[in-house]
């Protein structure tokens, strides 16, 4: 299993203690973690850079690193007792987005055989590939990657877009390139960081585009999200009334679905809308693409909240909270020192599902509840519930997800 860490493509490391592979090793799985370039060292575009080797991919160096790591695994993992013909990629957040990208990047074809995307989305709009050139900009990314590269150069007093300007950019030291992680500058918040780049050579299309056309890698998939990912950051509003207006003509329907009695707090409603739009509905969308391609897909929702945090996490399980349970590294998890028997049981079940899937392409096996494969009509998932149970069921949020799908596909909500 090859783990791709998250961190919005700007922070994080594969060497975090949270990603130690001891528990996977007990399941007879070899875990490989790696690092990839982050921030502007990982994603950067500039006109002269695109022209310098026009036949090559450009912009998303982080993905080049991930592909290089997978090539290393293919060539070397047998020396560690691994099987180069049975490689599973898995990642969370930006790592989950990376999984989607690797499923659709031609250069990654054949380097893995199963995939798991944890809170990685699957639709356009969130770290899914900024167009390289200005004439390709779209509603999600109205500013191109090359324009952002020009903005960054100007911030450092470099004008022009030719080879001379590129030489001046290359003369910057690493600290200046990292630039304290700044993604915007000035009173006008001018963007100076791109995120993943849709360059047309390495990254040839977004995951959503590939899935709609059936052009993804033909491998089994686990995909899912947590029950209360984030309260904002993608869909933002200062009041519920403002939020409903974001749905355009579907505003009244959105209110009826998310807050029928008008009594919910703004924070809860925003959390559900963000969770559904960015992660949950795209998971179903992706699983349906797999079903159409006659490939196995297994969808989950992680809603488990440990007892010690039950009063604080009132809306559900937040972003990244499943990682400690997947790896079984509960002592390294987020802000909790007390591990209960219930925590350990949830971790045992999740780690077993992930290990089973890596071995066979099916998470099911002895000692764990049945996880039904996804079928578009039934929409069955496994839910890791607040009380600790893992239950295979029809997704109870389908009314919300159907609304989100119609709002996104009609371009009412973006």
Give me the active site residues, please.
93, 229, 319
**DSSP per residue, 9-60:** TTS--TT-GGG--HHHHHTT---EE-----HHHHB---HHHHHHTTTS--SB
Rounded Cα distance between 122 and 126, Å, is 9
Residues in a beta bridge with 380: 394
Handedness of CA 280, 284, 290, 296 (dihedral sign): positive
**Count of C-beta atoms within a 10 Å radius of residue 410:** 12
**What are the tokens at 348?**
């045992």
Residue 186 has which token pair? 């000035």
- Name which of 187, 186, 127 is nearest 152 in CA terms: 186
Q: How far apart are CA 295 and CA 292, in angstroms?
A: 8
Q: Which of 345, 389, 347 is nearest to 371 (CA)?
A: 389
As a whole number of angstroms, the distance between CA 144 and CA 63 comes to: 19
Check: CB of residue 408 under 8 Å from CB of residue 247: no
Instruction: Tell whether the torsion through CA atoms of 25, 29, 30 and 31 is positive or negative.
Output: negative
CB 374 within 8 A of CB 239: no
Q: How far apart are CA 402 and CA 381, in angstroms?
A: 16
User: For residue 20, with 0-12 CB atoms within 10 Å meaning exposed, 13-18 middle and 19 or more buried, which class applies?
Assistant: middle
Helix or strand (DSSP H, E) at 394: strand 390-394
């Amino acid at each position: 299993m090859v783990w791709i860490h998250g961190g919005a493509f700007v922070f994080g490391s594969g060497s975090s203690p949270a990603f130690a592979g001891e528990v996977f090793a007990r399941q007879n799985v070899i875990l490989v973690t790696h690092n990839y370039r982050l921030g502007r060292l990982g994603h950067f575009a500039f006109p002269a850079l695109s022209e310098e080797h026009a036949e090559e991919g450009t912009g998303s160096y982080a993905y080049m690193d991930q592909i290089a790591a997978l090539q290393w695994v293919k060539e070397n993992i047998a020396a560690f007792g691994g099987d180069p013909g049975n490689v599973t990629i898995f990642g969370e957040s930006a790592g989950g987005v990376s999984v989607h990208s690797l499923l659709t990047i031609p250069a990654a074809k054949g380097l893995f055989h199963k995939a798991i995307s944890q809170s990685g989305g699957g639709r356009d709009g969130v770290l899914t590939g900024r167009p390289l050139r200005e004439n390709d900009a779209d509603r999600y990314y109205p500013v191109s990657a090359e324009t952002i590269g020009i903005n960054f150069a100007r911030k450092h007093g470099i004008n022009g877009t030719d080879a001379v300007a590129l030489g001046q950019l290359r003369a910057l030291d690493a600290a200046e390139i990292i630039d304290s992680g700044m993604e915007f500058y000035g009173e006008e918040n001018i963007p100076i960081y791109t995120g993943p780049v849709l360059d047309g050579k390495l990254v040839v299309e977004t995951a959503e585009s590939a899935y709609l056309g059936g052009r993804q890698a033909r491998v089994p998939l686990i995909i899912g999200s947590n029950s209360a990912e984030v309260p904002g950051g993608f869909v933002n509003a200062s009041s519920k009334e403002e939020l409903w207006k974001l749905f355009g003509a579907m505003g009244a329907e959105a209110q009826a679905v998310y807050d029928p009695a008008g009594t919910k707090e703004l924070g809860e409603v925003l959390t559900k809308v963000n969770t559904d739009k960015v992660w949950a509905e795209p998971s179903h969308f992706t699983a349906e693409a797999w079903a159409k391609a006659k490939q196995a897909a297994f969808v989950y929702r992680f809603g488990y909240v440990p007892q010690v945090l039950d009063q604080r996490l009132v809306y559900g399980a937040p972003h990244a909270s499943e990682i400690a349970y997947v790896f079984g590294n509960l002592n390294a998890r987020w802000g909790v020192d007390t591990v209960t028997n219930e925590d350990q049981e949830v971790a045992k079940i999740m780690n077993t599902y992930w290990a089973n899937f890596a071995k066979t392409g099916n998470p099911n096996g002895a000692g764990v509840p049945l996880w039904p494969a996804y079928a578009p009509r039934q929409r069955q998932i496994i839910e890791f519930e607040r009380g600790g149970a893992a239950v295979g069921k029809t997704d109870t949020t389908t009314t919300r997800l159907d609304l989100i799908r119609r709002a996104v596909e009609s371009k009412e909500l973006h």
